[in-house]
Amino acid sequence: MNRTAYINARLFDPANGLDETGSLLVEDGKIADRGAALFEGGVPQDLETVDCNGKLLTPGLIDMRVFTGEPGTEYRETLGSASQSAAAGGVTTIIVMPNTDPVIDDVALVDFVERRARDTAIVNVHPMGALTRGCAGEQMTEIGLLKDAGAVAFTDGDRPLSNPLVMRRALSYATFFDALIVQHAEDLDLAAGGVMNEGELASRLGLAGSPSAAETIMIERDLRLVELTGARYHVAQVSCKASVDVIRRAKQNGLAVTCGVSAPHLTLNENDVASYRSFMKLSPPLRHEDDRLAVVEGVADGTIDVIVSGHDPQDPETKRLPFAQAAFGAVGLETLLPATLSLVHGGTLSLERAIEALTHGPASLLGLNSGRLDKGAPADMTLIDMHVPWILDPEDLKSKSKNTPYDERRLQGRTIRTIVRGKEVHPFKGT
């Protein structure tokens, strides 16, 4: 029997309201026991022991919005390289988006992702299935079969499902399988090809702006359809105050609506675009500082359920272009935790809400049995040094792509160890 004792840890698990110094026992990849009193009389000789030195031991982080290039554009990122990046960032479970090439809209392709993940990934990988065939927004996919094959939710990835009739039917049909529908909320007509947030700065830079209303209008439309259908609906990433307000009201009215926000949207704003920095070109775009403050408040008060990285690796050739032509997206698996912790250090977000939105929040939405330090749960855990200061060097990133908006930033706090099913995957020691 493979047994490891994690002693002298600050056990921190928002789902259980747990914050105490104690020990945790892992047996055969599962959490066997935990508590302040565990090993009070000393650790038995036959146990492998890890002294956590009072550092934070949390459930492993779960990132439910990760784009990879596998299959199709493996030069950007493979499932294997994404998993290495995840492990380095303390993320033990990644949910990969279906808009690859080909799109994950068929049972055989879900099987492919799962097989490749099993063979090459060092963290847990679950695919989201495409909501429509080819993510083209026209024909529903086989939601039931895909879900049985392992798809944990359904989305067209970074493309909105624009047609309201198709959306209504997808929501309606999904209720039979209790499937979660995830929307990239953007009215493409209103966004009109905008490449950054609409406003004074875009006007100064001479860049086409995308108004935040393009996001909020899509959410408001979808909420009407959720009312009609009673489906479980999740907005992948909200970025502005109006969207947070709309979702807050919908939740108060009892709708089954949830939403996420990316770490960059919590920590950066449109001014970071500065002089056409294409690494700051994201979708949705970085918004006004008032919007940033509103999404932070949304996480703090529980309106926003999950924090994601929005990890989207892009090779240099698609980023070293004039801003309007450059690709959207930023890598983020390795900065998800430190970026979120910057809000905790800044006093605008409690540690409890931060960790909940990175663990139990996504786990409960996706029906995963991880995200908590329960006895019997998989031993997916992250050991965190809350306070260590460091400067991000993009060359140190494990991701194949280095398009991080945090290059050369001063960060505080990072992952010391990442444990997946009882096995330490970071510091990475080979397979």
Partner 1 sequence: MASSETNTSTLFPHRHLIGIDGLSQADITALLDLADGYVDQNRQIDKKNSVLRGRTQINLFFEASTRTQSSFELAGKRLGADVMNMSVSSSSIKKGETLIDTATTLNAMHPDLIVVRHGDSGAVELLSQKVSCSVLNAGDGSHEHPTQALLDALTIRRRKGRLEGLTVAICGDILHSRVARSNILLLNIMGARVRVIAPKTLLPIGVERLGVEVFNDMTEGLKDVDIVMMLRLQLERMHGSFVPSVREYFRYFGLDYEKLKVAKPDALIMHPGPMNRGVEIDSAVADDINRSVIREQVEMGVAVRMAALDALARNLPNQPMAGQEP
Judged by CB under 8 A, the residue of 45, 252, 275, 431 near partner 1 is 275
Number of amino acids touching partner 1 (CB under 8 A): 21
Instruction: Kindly tell me which of 256 and 324 has the beta carbon lying closer to partner 1.
Output: 324
Q: Report the alpha-carbon distance of residue 186 to residue 373 in Å, rounded.
A: 36
The Cα 272–Cα 316 span in angstroms is 19
Identify which of residues 141 and 278 has a Cβ nearer to partner 1 in the complex. Answer: 278
Based on CB atoms, which residue is closest to partner 1, 192 or 228?
192
Q: Can residue 323 be called a binding residue for partner 1 (CB under 8 A)?
A: yes
Query: Rounded to whole angstroms, how far apart are CA atoms 146 and 245?
Result: 33
279 makes contact with partner 1 (CB under 8 A): no
* Cis peptide upstream of residue 102 (ω within 30 degrees of 0): yes
How many CB atoms sit inside 10 A of residue 396's CB? 11
Nearer to partner 1, 324 or 416 (CB): 324
Q: Which one of the spans 87-95, 169-177, 316-324, 354-362 is the region binding partner 1 (CB under 8 A)?
A: 316-324
Among 276, 350, 390, 421, binds partner 1 (CB under 8 A): 276
- 219-233 in b/e burial notation, b at 16+ Cβ within 10 A? bbbbbebbeebebbb
Q: With contact defined as beta carbons under 8 Å apart, do 65 and 311 qualify?
A: yes
Task: Pick between residue 242 and residue 386 the one whose CB is nearest to partner 1.
Answer: 242
Q: C-beta of 205: minimal distance to partner 1 in Å? A: 6
Nearer to partner 1 (CB atom), residue 89 or residue 209: 209
**Contact positions with partner 1 (CB under 8 A) in 210-239:** 211
Q: How far is the CB of 240 from partner 1 (least distance, A)?
A: 14
8 Å CB contact between 143 and 197: no
What residues numbered 182-211 form the site for partner 1, per CB under 8 A? 198-207, 209, 211
Q: Which is nearer to partner 1, 112 or 276 (CB)?
A: 276
317 binds partner 1 (CB under 8 A): yes
CB 211 → partner 1: shortest distance, Å? 8
Q: Where are the beta strands (DSSP E) in 14-151?
A: 18-27, 30-35, 48-51, 56-59, 61-66, 91-96, 124-127, 129-130
Q: Which residues contact 288 (CB under 8 A, 6 or more apart)?
A: 197, 199, 240, 269, 270
* DSSP letter (8 states) at residue 312: -
- Under the binding rule (CB under 8 A), the answer on residue 320 touching partner 1 is yes
Determine the interface stretch with partner 1 among 178-186, 323-331, 351-359, 401-409 (rule: CB under 8 A): 323-331
Pick 76 or 126: Cβ nearer partner 1: 76
Amino acid letter, 303: T
| CB nearer to partner 1: pick between 270 and 380 | 270
**Token pair recorded at residue 306:** 């999950």
Among 322, 367, 389, 427, which residue sits at the site for partner 1 (rule: CB under 8 A)? Answer: 322
Q: Could you say whether residue 410 binds partner 1 (CB under 8 A)?
A: no
From the CB of 204, what's the least distance to partner 1, in Å? Answer: 7
Q: Any contact of residue 321 with partner 1 (CB under 8 A)?
A: yes
How distant, in Å, are the alpha carbons of 195, 198, 208, 392 from that of 285? 7, 9, 12, 22
CB atoms within 10 A of CB 431: 8
- Pick from 21, 53, 163, 325 the residue near partner 1 by CB under 8 A: 325
* Per-residue tokens: 395: 């060359």
Structural contact between residues 388 and 413, judged by C-beta atoms closer than 8 angstroms: yes
115 binds partner 1 (CB under 8 A): no
| Phi and psi, residue 39, nearest 5° | 60, 25
**Smallest gap, in angstroms, from Cβ of residue 285 to partner 1?**
13
List of residues contacting partner 1 (CB under 8 A): 198-207, 209, 211, 275-276, 317, 320-325
